[in-house]
């Protein structure tokens, strides 16, 4: 039983150090109510992991995903595709899959590259991904 108590104590200390590091990164003059303790840090990390998992688990059929784009957006993307092997590879991978996981790293990074290339606005990016 003592072993469990020691382990819990070590874990609590480690969580507290992580919480302190998190709290140190809060902006100057922050509301102290935003500070967390070790258990709060653990809850925050688990919540972030679950949010990420759920976001990646949301999927729609590829054809339905493509229908979220306007005809003008599709035209611009297809024109740009001819000049970018990276965009061509991304679109090929995206359309070859039966489902699009809107929270996946592949989809998010590809959509961000469309914004960066000026093919989508950030507002349309968010609308297409249901952000």
CA angle 28, 37, 30 (to 5 degrees): 15
Question: What pLDDT shows up at residue 54?
Answer: 61
Does one domain contain both 67 and 96?
yes
Q: What is the pLDDT of residues 66-116, one digit of tens each?
A: 999 999 999 999 999 999 888 888 888 888 888 888 888 888 889 999 999
What range does the domain containing 44 cover? 2-27+35-57
Number of domains making up the chain: 2
- Decide: pTM greater than 0.85: no
Does one domain contain both 20 and 69?
no
Q: What is the pLDDT of residues 11-33, one digit of tens each?
A: 677 777 877 887 788 888 888 77
Does one domain contain both 124 and 66?
yes
Does one domain contain both 124 and 63?
yes
Does one domain contain both 47 and 98?
no
Residue 14's CB is within 10 A of a number of other CB atoms, namely: 12
**121 contact partners, CB below 8 Å, separation of at least 6:** 115
């Amino acid at each position: 039983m003592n072993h469990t108590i020691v382990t819990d104590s070590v874990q609590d200390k480690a969580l507290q150090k992580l919480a302190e590091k998190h709290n140190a990164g809060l902006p100057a003059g922050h509301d102290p109510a935003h500070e967390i303790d070790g258990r709060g840090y653990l809850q925050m990390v688990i919540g972030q992991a679950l949010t990420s998992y759920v976001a990646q688990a949301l999927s729609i059929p590829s054809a339905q995903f493509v229908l979220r784009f306007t005809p003008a957006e599709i035209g611009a993307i297809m024109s740009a595709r001819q000049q970018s092997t990276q965009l061509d590879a991304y679109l090929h991978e995206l359309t070859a899959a039966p489902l699009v996981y809107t929270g996946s790293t592949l989809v998010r990074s590809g959509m961000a590259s469309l914004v960066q290339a000026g093919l989508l606005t950030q507002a349309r990016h968010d609308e297409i991904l249901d952000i």
